[in-house]
Amino acid sequence: MKTLVLEKPGSLVLSETEPPGKPPAGHALVRVRRIGVCGTDIHAFNGKQPFFTYPRILGHELGVEILEVAENALGLKAGDRCSVEPYLNCGTCIACRRGRGNCCSNLQVLGVHVDGGHRELIHVPTAKLHRSAQLSLDQLALVETLGIGAHAVDRAEIGEGETALVIGTGPIGLAVIQFAKTAGARVIAMDVNEARLEFCRRSLGVDETLLATVPDVPAELLRLVDGDLPTAVFDATGNPKSMMASFQYPAHGGRLIFVGLFQGDVSFNDPHFHKRELTLMGSRNARPEDFTRIIGLIESGKVDTTPWITHRSPFDGVPAVFPGWTRPETGVLKAMIEL
């Protein structure tokens, strides 16, 4: 079967590999039909992804079609189209026992720690398949990205009428914006890229935008919020400079949620942190209930995925176009691979 292998940073190769056999108990054999490209894939291609080894088969944002289901099928059957929850948690560690398998101490993520969906066929545990008879394959592949934003907003426990600042308007930041708006927050989007801020205004209805390159970001933010800083600040950049600067932005008693990550340490001024009695949170992945909820929201029309996909490629063409997708000047918001 055709398989894309990231052999080393910058080297994505189309190869032929042996197809998987019949699925073991508790698993399904699925045909991969759509693969979303995200920041994790781009960081891996550029050699900057934490917890990563080469060679690796990328691909964790998947829209798939079931070909065969082994026993313990949970009602799934051949022909069902599903979104894949790519977080393979152990089920026994303290995080899993407390219902937080998204940050399992033994977590393996498809396409990151173990080989993922950049191939025609793959075995997937049936418990990680989320079926929809209504969503398109494109929409099914977008559920995982949306889930990361939904989980981050849930972590922050945003309430009606709060002000939220979202720093970084790549796909994860856009997902945070989507669910912060759904929770009833006033949302300010901040980015270094004016074109992305224009997308936020035009397509997501953000209340205010802030260009991160202005000379005095804290002063401009205070002007936008009329003196009351945001009670929740989400940094979705994975940029250390941005993450360390973000401690300036929450209100006294507010929350700072790191959705993006990078390979290194974050430092901050402790008196400033304590004076505001800030709550600092990490947010990782999403939970099974996030997938179920998001599928329902898309099916009902409450979440619109139409504007998200800006670039496409057939599977065979990916090695040629992928390097361009990693460059900001190409304007990629979400690229989708078609099989």
Predicted TM-score (pTM) of the model is: 0.93
Taking only the tens place, the pLDDT of each residue in 168-204 is 999 999 999 999 999 999 999 999 999 999 999 999 9
pLDDT for residue 32:
98
Question: Among 47-51, 158-162, 221-225, whose mean pLDDT is lowest?
Answer: 47-51
Residue 136, phi-psi category: left (phi > 0), alpha (psi -120 to 50), beta (remainder): beta
Cβ–Cβ < 8 Å for 122, 75: no
Strand partners, 6: 12, 56
Residues facing residue 12 across a β-bridge: 6
Question: Model confidence over 77-133: pLDDT tens digits?
Answer: 999 999 999 999 999 999 999 999 999 999 999 999 999 999 999 999 999 999 999
Confidence of residue 72 (pLDDT cuts 50, 70, 90): low
Our CA angle for 54, 238, 267, nearest 5°, is: 115
Of the CA atoms within 13 Å of residue 295, those in its CB half-sphere come to 24
Task: Tell me the domains of the chain and their CATH numbers.
Answer: 2-131+309-338 (3.90.180.10), 150-282 (3.40.50.720)
User: Which residues are bridge partners to 287 per DSSP?
Assistant: none
